[in-house]
Amino acid sequence: MSPRQLKLGVILKGTGSHIAGWRHPSVSLDKATRFSQYVEIAQLAEQGKLDFIFVADSPSVSYQFQPVMLARVPQIYHIEPVTLLSALAPLTRHVGLVGTITTTFSEPYNVARMFASLDHISDGRACWNVVTTTNDQAAANFGLAEQIPKRERYARASEFVDIVRGLWDSWDDDAFIMNRDSGIYADPQKMHFLNYKSERFAVRGPLNVPRPPQGHPVVCVAADSEDGRELAARTADILFNAQLDADSARALHQDVKRRMPKYGRDPDDLSIVLGLTLVIGRTDEEAREKYAFLESLIDVEIGMQYLSYLALTDLSGCPLDEPLPAFLKQDRSRSRLNIVVDAAEREGLTLRQTALRYADSFGHLAMTGSGTSIADRMQHWFETGAADGFVLRLPYAPQGLQDFNELVLPELQRRGLFRTEYAGHTFRDNLGLARPSRILK
């Protein structure tokens, strides 16, 4: 058996992942919102043999009631992920295409159809990132005054994923016989109705797309709560998570993997990948300078608004140079907020420092340094069971990914921690996952 290797993907965002990265002189602003920029990033990811490109999403303008954010932050808008990935599919050959679609404001039939189609278009490289979406702004676009409660969101998500998988099995792999002589194109016996009915859904099927090349496109879940972990353990091939502390990451890893056997699943069939913000230099010193420069581009007011958004509370009256207000520590129900608050406590950060830190890494793990020192830390997290891989958040595009390819990748490859060539054709092949047989009888 080949040795276990890192799973690596990169967030696809035209200007990069850092809130003020777009102000970096290396970013060509005339290109930043253009499709050609996405092509360049996707092709760089493929040159680096990365497992996937990842498009995050929310079906609303983010921060729409925060004028300062709205005016200064490019992360407010979202190109529709499956449309974007479908356009990138013929311009790439190997890299996995991960698109986020929320279960809260979608219908399973549409989602099954979109990802089955993307899987055909890309010859087996589609992946659906399942999210339940927390924000009220999105709810307001779908006939709701406010977001539905989390329990209900996850109950819906859980059924939703089963329905989508069931619909992907609407046709046998060999349903389309296409016999010129007999004139028979499809075998109707090989088409299957789903006939799903519950309080939430009624979906008869079948899906009007042939079975996807991967059987089932890869399924990723981005979540952290109890319900999110259970959903991932039961249904996901990839869990995308945010962790700042290696012990907590290891605990998460063990917890989610421990839940899998009761669903008849092998824990090795799920990869847990963590968001990782990287500022890379030729030396540690150069990287620290780059980090300081990026931080100097963030207005603390933006950091505070960002944090207020996360906390769902206006923090603008709170003293900046004191520890975090106590009420932030009391709400334990919001996973990302908890991670940020716990890190601030652990490291004794003031509110100002926490706001700036959150603004540059969005509550994800962050590493600044030379290629070697970053590879050391990635290796440590990987080999001590804290992560199976990472979703890279590079501060400015495309230079951040060029830096990664040039300075970090060769070091990971030299250590045997990352591939030098793609192993197969489909995303499943490259993740080492079997093509599932039909579950729908």
Ligand X SMILES: Cc1cc2nc3c(=O)[nH]c(=O)nc-3n(C[C@H](O)[C@H](O)[C@H](O)COP(=O)(O)O)c2cc1C
Question: Where do contacts with ligand X occur on this chain (CB under 6 A)?
Answer: 56-58, 100, 102, 131-134, 222-225, 228, 240-242, 275, 335
Is 225 or 413 the residue whose CB approaches ligand X more closely?
225
In angstroms, the CA 365 to CA 242 distance is 7
Encode 344-368 in three state secondary structure: HHHHCCCHHHHHHHHHHHCCCEEEE
Tokens in use for 158?
């859980």
Nearer to ligand X, 206 or 363 (CB): 363
Q: What angle do CA 290, 296, 299 make, to 5 degrees?
A: 145
Q: Which is nearer to ligand X, 20 or 242 (CB)?
A: 242
DSSP 3-state of 120: helix
Query: Looking at beta carbons only, is 216 or 229 nearer to ligand X?
Result: 229
Q: For residues 240 and 306, which CB has a smaller minimum distance to ligand X in the complex? A: 240
Phi, psi (deg, nearest 5) at residue 70:
-55, -35
For the CB of residue 278, give the shortest distance to ligand X in the complex, in Å.
Answer: 16
CB of 134 or CB of 426, closer to ligand X = 134
Q: To the nearest whole angstrom, how small is the minimum distance from the Cβ of residue 77 to ligand X?
A: 13
Number of Cβ atoms within 10 Å of the Cβ of 327: 11
Task: Specify the residue, 31 or 336, whose C-beta has the smaller distance to ligand X.
Answer: 336
Least distance in Å: CB of 62 to ligand X? Answer: 10
Which region holds residue 183: left if phi is over 0, alpha if psi is between -120 and 50, else beta?
A: left
* Shortest spacing between CB 381 and ligand X, in angstroms: 15
C-alpha Rg value of the chain to the nearest Å: 22
Q: How far apart are CA 205 and CA 116, in angstroms?
A: 14
Residues 6+ apart with CB under 8 A from 421: 49
Nearer to ligand X, 139 or 242 (CB): 242
Asked whether 51 and 25 are in contact (CB, 8 A), the reply is no
Nearest distance in Å: CB 67, ligand X: 22
Residue 231 structure tokens = 């959903």
User: 122 or 135: whose CB is closer to ligand X?
Assistant: 135
Distance (Å, rounded) from C-alpha 88 to C-alpha 14?
A: 13
Residue 106, token pair as written in the block: 């979608």
> Minimum Å distance from CB 76 to ligand X?
14
- Using DSSP's 3-state secondary structure scheme, residue 61 falls into coil
Nearer Cβ to ligand X (254/420):
254
| Sequence-separated contacts (24+) of 46-49 with Cβ below 8 Å | 46/92, 46/93, 46/94, 46/95, 47/405, 48/8, 48/401, 48/404, 48/405, 48/409, 49/94, 49/418, 49/419, 49/420, 49/421, 49/422
**Residue nearest to ligand X according to CB distances in the complex:** 228
CA dihedral 193, 194, 195, 201 (to 10 degrees): -140
Closest separation in Å from C-beta 113 to ligand X: 20
**Nearest distance from residue 78's CB to ligand X, in Å?**
9
